[in-house]
Amino acid sequence: MDAPLLTVRDFGKRYGGSDAVCGLSLDIARGELFGLIGPDGAGKSSFMKAVAGVLRFDAGRVQVFGTDIASDTGAESVKSRLGLMPQGLGQNLYGSLSVEENIDFFARLRMVPRDQAERRKHDLLAVTRLAPFAQRPMRQLSGGMKQKLGLACTLIHAPDLIILDEPTTGVDPVSRRDFWGILGDLMESEGLTALVSTAYLDEASRFTRLCLLHQGRALATGTPDEILARAPGAVVQCRVVPQLEAQQRLAPHFPHCEAMGQTLRLFVEGLDREAAGAAVRESLNGLDIETLDTMAPELEDVFLALLGGERAATLPPGQANTPSADEPDAILAQGLTRTFGEFVAVADVSFKVRPGEIFGLLGANGAGKTTAIKMLTGILPPSGGSGSVAGADMRHAGALIKSRIGYMSQAFSLYLDLTVRENIRLYAGLYGLGRQDGDERMRWIIGMAGLAGHEDELAASLPMGLRQRLALGCALVHRPRVLFLDEPTSGVDPLGRRVFWDILFSLSRVDGVAMLVTTHFMSEAEHCDRLALMFAGRIVADASPQELKRQVVAEAGELYQVTTADARGLGKALAASGFPGASPCGRDLRLLSRDGAALAAAVSAHEAGARVETRPIGMEDVFVHLVSRLEAEHGGAA
């Protein structure tokens, strides 16, 4: 058996008095696609930088290509065979240089001979489909195109091991899936080994093997199937009336229960699908169960089970608040249009959000989501159309709108050098609350966000989940009726994210707060009551997640998973047999098809041992299908 390409034993890295990574051990074989999975602060970047030889570590042993890299000499000796792509869109690129100039720069930096560099550049531009954009400045690329260019620059010197730190964070699902396809093709054609980190647990199944990291320690390491076997159980999804009472009944017995739009989803540990369904039905006795389906758990369910213990917070109590039919819309957009010179950023966009509704605005990078929100919140005047937010006209009442809404931005919501208490008091003052009202809201925020005992800690020192809940509390300090959320749980661990969405669910159902959420994270889209998909500045779909799924199934067929010994080879064979669009997920393939019998026959003809089974369609499948179809109709996109 060949020696591992990378061997790590008891790795440790400290910053000051805190462990960033502690006791990490793993092996990576040649040709593997190895995943490091965990939220922000899990220790992924520290470990990857150490493996790349650009960060000293404090404990343990790291061998790359059989060389110990603890010394500067050892680290330098292997760097020519490594490629490192740091976290952040375009962080290893130069904005003023064109696509081609960036690749040329990295080729010279890596001292690649000119003729070899030209051949490599030609091949990489072709496989990443960036050749038509070779002269475009990097700063004018979309997020997905920046990541593909970053990959090309990382590979220009033909490394044996590439280290990619969260390469798909911040890009839309179509670009994410495209990136994984390109990476797979390059690994196959060039014999690469890849160490890749991600905060998206839904990407975990794409890896040959993976390590789940939490707070610097490994929860589990192995193949996706091996890790799934660590926490046997079943997932139950049900639609029950009334929903709020159903969740309040289920939450005490099933700690991993969450609302996803009008549906409830829970992981029942230790029971098979039939027994799990029966247990849930018993807990819901007397309520109207409209639908109840059971399915196999996913890696996020296992991650939560491995963390152990109960959820950090329970569903806040309260009675459902159903808005009356004659209550005005919380958000109303009618024909919104915005142009910048000859460029149309938003074109004739119309939608409405009812009080107490969670509304998702989805779209690829550059679709027009941010511009639409800036118009609705009074930041940017529209070129045409009209709208209102919280009863105020967006054209003439910008200041009034700002006083009636809460806004939580992914990029900036808190002052990290202020304490929890100081942040809340600052926002209370900005919104004009008096001392008595401010103190009352502070008590409410501390309780709502689970911040008791953290009042005098700096915001910068809080775990990501608590920090996001503090940001939410500051956005709600003035009791707004409308809340705008910009990728609100990016980087938060799964447990913290579910607690956060419990709070949003209660604010929606009990307090009647309307919410508009923008996100690239498709599991967040599942939590919305209704979704609008933007493409090229226009609304191209507006329906509930369930209805959008039904529409895609009616148009493109059921979602099938093919378990195979050669995912990439079988995918190419199926495409040649009239079944295009198969997406590799680790050892499996996933694709939509209207003819399951014909698909099964085609699979058997190419690989007798492969297994074909249906899976519930997810919002990522919906998004990718709709956007890919629209891009094809409009001439394609990179």
DSSP state of 79: G
Among 133-137, 262-266, 292-296, 460-464, the range scoring the smallest mean pLDDT is 460-464
Give the dihedral of Cα atoms 6, 10, 13, 16; nearest 10 deg: -170
> Do residues 513 and 483 make contact, with C-beta atoms less than 8 angstroms apart?
yes
pLDDT, mean of residues 493-520? 87
Q: What is the pLDDT of residues 546-557, one digit of tens each?
A: 999 999 999 999
Give the dihedral of Cα atoms 207, 212, 217, 219; nearest 10 deg: -130
Tally of CB atoms within 10 A around 113: 10
In this prediction, residue 143 carries a pLDDT of 81
C-alpha distances in Å from residue 475, one per residue of 236, 482, 505, 558, 609: 33, 10, 16, 41, 55
Distance of alpha carbon 614 from alpha carbon 563, whole angstroms: 11
> Do residues 241 and 228 make contact, with C-beta atoms less than 8 angstroms apart?
no
Which domains are present in the chain? 6-227 (3.40.50.300), 232-296 (3.30.70.100), 331-533 (3.40.50.300), 547-633 (3.30.70)
In this prediction, residue 464 carries a pLDDT of 78
In this prediction, residue 321 carries a pLDDT of 64
* 3-class SS of residue 610: coil
Distance of alpha carbon 211 from alpha carbon 221, whole angstroms: 4
For the chain, the residue count is: 638
- Would you state the structure tokens that stand for residue 627, as one six-digit string? 């956007």
Is the pLDDT at 638 greater than 70, yes or no? no
Is the pLDDT at 121 greater than 90, yes or no? yes
* 3-class SS of residue 150: helix
What confidence category does residue 281 fall into, taking pLDDT thresholds of 50, 70 and 90?
very high
> Do residues 364 and 535 make contact, with C-beta atoms less than 8 angstroms apart?
yes
**536, 520, 532, 522: which is closest to 633 by C-alpha?**
536
Q: What is the pLDDT of residues 153-188, one digit of tens each?
A: 999 999 999 999 999 887 888 888 888 888 988 888
pTM attached to this predicted model? 0.86
Residues 6+ apart with CB under 8 A from 620: 173, 177, 202, 522
Q: What is the pLDDT of residues 26-53, one digit of tens each?
A: 999 999 999 999 888 889 999 999 999 9
In this prediction, residue 41 carries a pLDDT of 82
Burial of 56 (0-12, 13-18, 19+ CB in 10 A): exposed
For 158: left if phi > 0, alpha if psi spans -120 to 50, otherwise beta; the answer is left
pLDDT, mean of residues 430-447? 94
Distance of alpha carbon 352 from alpha carbon 200, whole angstroms: 30
In this prediction, residue 312 carries a pLDDT of 42
Q: What is the pLDDT of residues 414-433, one digit of tens each?
A: 899 999 999 999 999 999 99
Is the pLDDT at 206 greater than 70, yes or no? yes
Q: What one-character-per-residue DSSP string does 562-605 give?
A: EE-S-HHHHHHHHHHTT----EEETTEEEEEES-HHHHHHHHHH
- Percent of the chain at pLDDT > 90 equals 63
- Alpha-helical runs (H) found in 461-559: 464-475, 494-509, 522-525, 545-556
In this prediction, residue 88 carries a pLDDT of 78
pLDDT, mean of residues 402-411? 83
What confidence category does residue 318 fall into, taking pLDDT thresholds of 50, 70 and 90?
low
Distance of alpha carbon 336 from alpha carbon 333, whole angstroms: 6
In this prediction, residue 397 carries a pLDDT of 78
Distance of alpha carbon 36 from alpha carbon 88, whole angstroms: 16
pLDDT, mean of residues 371-384? 90
Strands 514-518 and 530-535, how do they pair? unpaired
Tally of CB atoms within 10 A around 265: 20
> Do residues 306 and 230 make contact, with C-beta atoms less than 8 angstroms apart?
yes
In this prediction, residue 431 carries a pLDDT of 92
In this prediction, residue 314 carries a pLDDT of 47
Burial of 613 (0-12, 13-18, 19+ CB in 10 A): exposed
Is the pLDDT at 394 greater than 70, yes or no? yes
In this prediction, residue 3 carries a pLDDT of 82
CA 175 to chain centre: 12
Mean pLDDT over the full length of the chain: 90
Is the pLDDT at 149 greater than 90, yes or no? yes
Q: What one-character-per-residue DSSP string does 215-230 give?
A: TTEEEEEE-HHHHHTT
Burial of 59 (0-12, 13-18, 19+ CB in 10 A): middle
77 or 409, higher pLDDT: 77
In this prediction, residue 313 carries a pLDDT of 44
In this prediction, residue 323 carries a pLDDT of 65
DSSP state of 261: T
Query: What order do you get walking across the sheet with 18-28 strand by strand?
Result: 18-28, 6-15, 59-64, 67-68
Among 131-140, 380-389, 393-402, the range scoring the smallest mean pLDDT is 393-402
Among 90-94, 293-297, 330-334, the range scoring the smallest mean pLDDT is 90-94
Is the pLDDT at 409 greater than 90, yes or no? no
pLDDT, mean of residues 483-494? 80
**286, 287, 288, 243: which is closest to 265 by C-alpha?**
243
In this prediction, residue 587 carries a pLDDT of 72
CA 565 to chain centre: 28
pLDDT, mean of residues 423-444? 94
pLDDT, mean of residues 560-589? 87
C-alpha distances in Å from residue 365, one per residue of 134, 198, 345, 386, 535: 20, 19, 12, 24, 9
C-alpha distances in Å from residue 344, one per residue of 20, 364, 384: 46, 16, 11
Residues 6+ apart with CB under 8 A from 468: 488, 489, 492, 496, 500
Q: What is the pLDDT of residues 185-205, one digit of tens each?
A: 888 888 999 999 998 888 888
In this prediction, residue 319 carries a pLDDT of 57
